[in-house]
Amino acid sequence: MSDPLHPTRPDWEMDDPMITPPPRGGEQLLLINPGGALIIGPWTDDCWAFSRKPRIPDSVKARMTAARLDQIAREEAARAAP
């Protein structure tokens, strides 16, 4: 579907559970729920579509780790200050 207010990636499409059986057993997936919203959770039979979550690029993981380490250092410095 083409919607200028909600652009999508043409190279990524969710799976249709009528064509591809969804994973069962609690795996966290991207889901289109009965209300049409994109959510994260385990498959349930009332969902419309599913997809495994995309990978986070290593460059983003590195920035996330650096930001968390910086936050920890600031918190420890604040605790150590008189």
Per-residue pLDDT at 17 exceeds 60: yes
Q: What is the pLDDT of residues 30-81, one digit of tens each?
A: 999 999 999 999 999 999 999 999 999 999 999 999 999 999 999 999 999 8
Print the SS3 string covering 22-72.
CCCCCCCEEEECCCCCEEEECCCCCCCEEECCCCCCHHHHHHHHHHHHHHH
* Stated pTM of the model: 0.69
Burial class (CB in 10 A: 0-12, 13-18, 19+), 31: buried
Whether the Cβ atoms of residue 49 and residue 29 lie closer than 8 Å to each other: no
